[in-house]
Structure 1
Amino acid sequence: MTLVKSLYAGIATASFVLAALPAAAEDDVKIVASFSILGDMVEEVVGDLATVTTIVGPDADAHVYQPSVADARAVAQADIIFVNGLGFETWSDTLISESGTEATVHVATAGITPVKVDGMTDPHAWNSLSNGVIYVTNVAAAMKEAMPEHAGEITANADAYIAELEALDAETKSKLADLPANRRTVVTAHDAFGYLADAYGLTFLAPVGIATEAEPSAKDLAVLIDQLKAEGAAALFVENITSPALVQQISEETGIVIGGRLFSDALSERGGPATSYLTMFQHNLGTLLDALAHETAS
């Protein structure tokens, strides 16, 4: 039996089990968010007014994720589902449709102007804090429609959260503004930081495209290495969701120092440096500044 058939056979079983369970309390609103960064945003907005379940958890790669029967069960039971959209969750449409859920589905990136990378839409819109404000605004609007009796609390939560995001956005722009032109080009494993580059005046190069499952050809990798040898880069960065091997190879062949680890598509596990969207961005900002503010490349 294929993985897909196995999963959806499991969904059918899960649906049978769910039918036998007692009905949940009317006010027990169940929310599903597709991945950890979005789940954290939703939790900030709803507080303790609802239960939030995240499909793709910390340090996991949503690009290559394979949903489980437990995920199908959570989706089937959900009242509200939030997805990133922009082609990020290639598995979500099938999961949602096959689960039989009656939940309303909301795209958190609605209203965001997409960035294109090599002609493809970059789905990593959260890597600009001004876009993060749009995510939160969209989540709050959906939740106030679903829970009008709690509209005041949801508005207050969202407003306080947005104020934090806007303050960090201003801090990020201020701190990165002083970097000289020759300290603004960096290399990561895959193209996850196009929105950050546009928002804060940096250039990100990557041997792999938007999706982490892609493999760079030997020719493309050689072209990038030759470009870096000729033009240089301020630093290389590994990512929490990808193997560091490719970045380590580039470092060895170019002499450019690895400047640390960035969180691109997922939060860190509990106890890590990026357990929320805010702390993720603060960690990434600090890591970038530590590497870019000093001449670390050989």
Structure 2
Amino acid sequence: MHKHPGSGRRIVWWSLGLVVVLLMLGPTSLAKNAAGQVVAVVSFSPIADMVRNVGGDQVEVVLAVPNGQNMHFFEPAATVLARLAGDADVFFINGLNLEFAQRPLYESALGERPDLRVVNLAHSVLIFRAELEGLGRAEFRRSPLRPLNPAFDELFLGPVDNTDPHAFLDPENGIAYVKMIRDVLSEIDPENASSYAANAETYIAQIEAVDQQIAALMATIPPELRRIATTGEGFNYMAARYGISLEGELFDTLNLGVTTDPSPQALANVARQIRALGIPAIFREFTIDAAITEAVARAAGLTKVGTLSEVLLPSPEWDTYLEYLLANARVVVETLTGRPVS
């Protein structure tokens, strides 16, 4: 489970030459596919949608973990790993340990591609502001890992391995990801750099518009309701961006990433803490059994229970990065206020 003790959410963006770390395992060469497109393998769905929007028709996006799949358990298909080991031109990952479940398979594929550029987006472009007067990092308790090759630690974790990886849930951070994607694609495919720049400019404007729309929605939540409990701590950045206090660690004792059947006593303990803190609503990640949060809500005397997602879902209101940001915000507002949001 991830731990984010402060209100870290904002980014500091430096120019590509100063700080962006493009992690490479040797020299690169641009292969492209039979259609003349750059082949970009992408670790998970929000980033894949960003790459599609920036790359347009010039980039083939190969998604490793499809929409609606749990990043903590899903294993990429052999066809994806074959592209990674074969004709991929670039591999975009979030980094900061988000890909821990897939990492052993990626290590094997990357071992056959010493020339492949791997871009760790999160640690390459983000510094999180923990306090107004200083810079800090959003920490989390590392999940148990299978035996891994330490030679890949810097690639998949980054130089700081205790940073909450879910930065993309803050649109400002999403914009930083888009800028990084634009610059990487432009560097490896300079002939289409102007197209990538134009696409990124359009897409950034769309993200900014969605950010403003979400802020307006969140502003309708009364102050006394702006505190929530979640089954995980992946929504800290969204909460911090829009002034919501989030208690994600309350469910840690249930070990929901390991067990699907917590004891009644454990559920009752969580419910007692929620009552004591006066939290008005509980939100579960879509991968968590609804019966668990419903049981806690009943024991805590709550009727406000919602479902959020850290990944894109295969439905019209959740299948793009922009829709996904809006959909999560609508769930928060509708659950807390009891009013439908159009």
List alignment gaps of at least 5 residues for structure 2: 1-31, 129-136, 143-161
CA 233–279 in structure 1, closer or farther in 2 if over 3 Å, else same: same
Deviation at 1:59, TM superposition (A): 1.0
| 1:291 partner amino acid | T
CA 249–188 in structure 1, closer or farther in 2 if over 3 Å, else same: same
Contact 1:83 1:108 in 2 (8 A): yes
| Superimposed CA distance per residue, residues 202-257 of structure 1 (whole angstroms, 9 cap, x where no aligned partner) | 12223138x96245976765443112122322322232233223212211211212
Q: Distance in 2 between matches of 1:250 and 1:224?
A: 7
The one of 17, 39, 48 equivalent to 2:48 is 39
1:14-163 equivalence runs, <5 A: 24-25=33-34, 27-77=36-86, 78-99=88-109, 100-101=112-113, 102-109=115-122, 110-112=124-126, 113=128, 114-117=137-140, 120-163=162-205
Q: Distance in 2 between matches of 1:24 and 1:196?
A: 37
Contact 1:267 1:277 in 2 (8 A): yes
Q: What residue in structure 2 maps to residue 267 of structure 1?
A: 312
Q: What residue in structure 1 maps to residue 4 of structure 2?
A: none
| Superimposed CA distance per residue, residues 169-217 of structure 1 (whole angstroms, 9 cap, x where no aligned partner) | 12222332343332111222211111112211112223138x9624597
Contact 1:64 1:213 in 2 (8 A): no
Q: Distance in 2 between matches of 1:103 and 1:186?
A: 42
Residue 228 of structure 1 pairs with residue 270 of structure 2: no
Q: Distance in 2 between matches of 1:238 and 1:175?
A: 20
| Alignment size in residue pairs | 270
Deviation at 1:281, TM superposition (A): 0.8
Q: Distance in 1 between matches of 2:33 and 2:239?
A: 45
Highest RCO, 1 vs 2 (Cα 8 Å, sep ≥ 6): 2
The one of 331, 337, 341 equivalent to 1:287 is 331
Shifted more, 121-130 versus 218-227: the winner is 218-227
The two structures have a TM-score, normalised by structure 1, of 0.82
Deviation at 1:68, TM superposition (A): 3.5
Q: What residue in structure 2 maps to residue 243 of structure 1?
A: 289
The one of 268, 291, 301 equivalent to 1:255 is 301
| 1:256 partner amino acid | L
Q: Distance in 2 between matches of 1:246 and 1:121?
A: 28
The two structures have a TM-score, normalised by structure 2, of 0.72
Secondary structure of 1:260 counterpart: strand
Deviation at 1:35, TM superposition (A): 0.6
List alignment gaps of at least 5 residues for structure 1: 1-22
Deviation at 1:135, TM superposition (A): 0.8
Shifted more, 167-176 versus 115-124: the winner is 115-124
* Percent sequence identity over aligned pairs: 27
Q: Distance in 1 between matches of 2:37 and 2:295?
A: 50
Deviation at 1:108, TM superposition (A): 1.6
Deviation at 1:276, TM superposition (A): 0.4
Q: Distance in 2 between matches of 1:107 and 1:261?
A: 29
Q: What residue in structure 1 maps to residue 6 of structure 2?
A: none
Secondary structure of 2:193 counterpart: helix
CA 242–192 in structure 1, closer or farther in 2 if over 3 Å, else same: same
Deviation at 1:86, TM superposition (A): 1.1
Moved over 6 A (4+): none
CA 259–224 in structure 1, closer or farther in 2 if over 3 Å, else same: closer
Secondary structure of 1:31 counterpart: strand
Secondary structure of 2:57 counterpart: coil
Q: Distance in 1 between matches of 2:302 and 2:229?
A: 10
Deviation at 1:33, TM superposition (A): 0.4
Q: What residue in structure 2 maps to residue 205 of structure 1?
A: 247
| Superimposed CA distance per residue, residues 35-61 of structure 1 (whole angstroms, 9 cap, x where no aligned partner) | 111111110110111110101111111
Contact 2:37 2:57 in 1 (8 A): no
What is the RMSD of the two structures over their aligned residues, measured on CA atoms? 2.5
Contact 1:30 1:80 in 2 (8 A): yes
